Amino acid sequence: MRKRTEPVALEHERCAASGSSTSGSAAAVLDADRSLQRNLCLAGKGPGETRSAADADMKRALGRRKGLWFRLRKILLYVLGLYIAIPFLIKVFPGIQAKLIFLNFVRVPYFIDLKKPQDQGLNHTCNYYLHPEEDITIGVWHTVPTVWWKTAQGKDQMWYEDALASSHPIILYLHGNAGTRGGDHRVELYKVLSSLGYHVVSFDYRGWGDSIGTPSERGMTYDALHVFDWIKARSGDNPVYIWGHSLGTGVATNLVRRLCERETPPDALILESPFTNIREEAKSHPFSVIYRYFPGFDWFFLDPITSSGIKFANDENVKHISCSLLILHAEDDPVVPFQLGRKLYNIAAPSQSFRDFKVQFIPFHSDLGYRHKYIYKSPELPRILREFLGNSEPEHQH
């Protein structure tokens, strides 16, 4: 009995030991599995979690797209509303259109002292101030011929005024809109004309530069008349020519028509980059492109110009002018289309008022790149002026 019992006890001990070992292995496996699951959870690698993250990313992307489209749509609606509102604003407040035509509030170049033309390289120029009307002051530059450059140094206004009576002809220059008498392209033209032996008198209309007053077509024309009379009172028998550029051509034809009607015409009129009338110019201007086919364009945009008293009717004025006329225009002019200058010439040339005077049109090919304000660069300009102004007295054929 003792021998049989001992093996049984030993067997029980072995089974217990074996059971304990198996239990430990199972526990280790379970611990490892739980650790792996925790790691997977922390890494977000579970299938459910992956799908949720992808859905969240997609929702965020769609949200951003919707937000972008909403902002874009808001901007488009704002632009469209502004596009539609502007014509009504101009119709209700026609003064806006007048400011856009004159652009006298645009003073380019900035930060120059108009009292010191020498700062712009005009060392033979004097700055004056004239008074066309009460409470109106206009700034004037008088540049003498280049041959007097040294003599002019340190001279006062009286010397410059007396110089107008010399044997050199005089050009009264009427500039276009925006900027001042110190504009870069204007200064360069003064230098060219001065080098050719001309006195050049330029000025800022009331409301431009440092001139005092409120801009208007009537006021601009009166200012030009005052300066012309001021020159004639000092120039003796010297020829006086009038040169208008761009909007200044409207002032020039207004002035010359008035001078011819009172029988004191200038010796010649030069129009650089002219238009026919302000309505046609406004309709042709590049700024009008976005509204050119807008319903009621004339009523919204052109009628307010007329109601503001702005006409600048070159096409009508040339029918009442009796002096030689020279028109200069670049084919690539982006501001005043070339065809308007050609049209003005076609109106002027057969006019009875020019029957005893010559009318000449000089085009500048687009390859030259003179555009709206760089005709002064033409090497042909001295010859053109010499041939035209040298024989600007009345003649019996065009």
Amino acid identity, position 208: W
Q: Where are the beta strands (DSSP E) in the chain?
A: 125-130, 138-143, 170-174, 199-203, 240-245, 268-272, 324-330, 359-364
Find where tokens 């107008």 sit.
164
Does the annotation mark 333 as catalytic? yes
Token output for 40: 């997977």
Catalytic residue among 202, 246, 273, 353: 246
Bridge partners of 363, per DSSP, are 329
Strand order in the sheet with 240-245: 125-130, 138-143, 199-203, 170-174, 240-245, 268-272, 324-330, 359-364
**What was the pLDDT predicted at 85?**
76
Catalytic residue among 142, 175, 245, 372: 372
Q: How far apart are CA 104 and CA 206, in angstroms?
A: 9
Pairing outcome for strands 359-364 and 170-174:
unpaired
Domain ranges of the chain: 106-285+309-389
Mean pLDDT by 10 residues, the chain (398 residues): 47 48 49 54 53 73 77 84 76 82 89 94 96 97 97 96 96 97 97 98 97 96 98 96 98 98 97 97 82 78 84 97 98 97 97 93 98 98 95 44
Catalytic residue among 315, 333, 353, 392: 333
**What was the pLDDT predicted at 109?**
82
Q: Which CATH fold would you assign to the domain 106-285+309-389?
A: Rossmann fold (3.40.50)
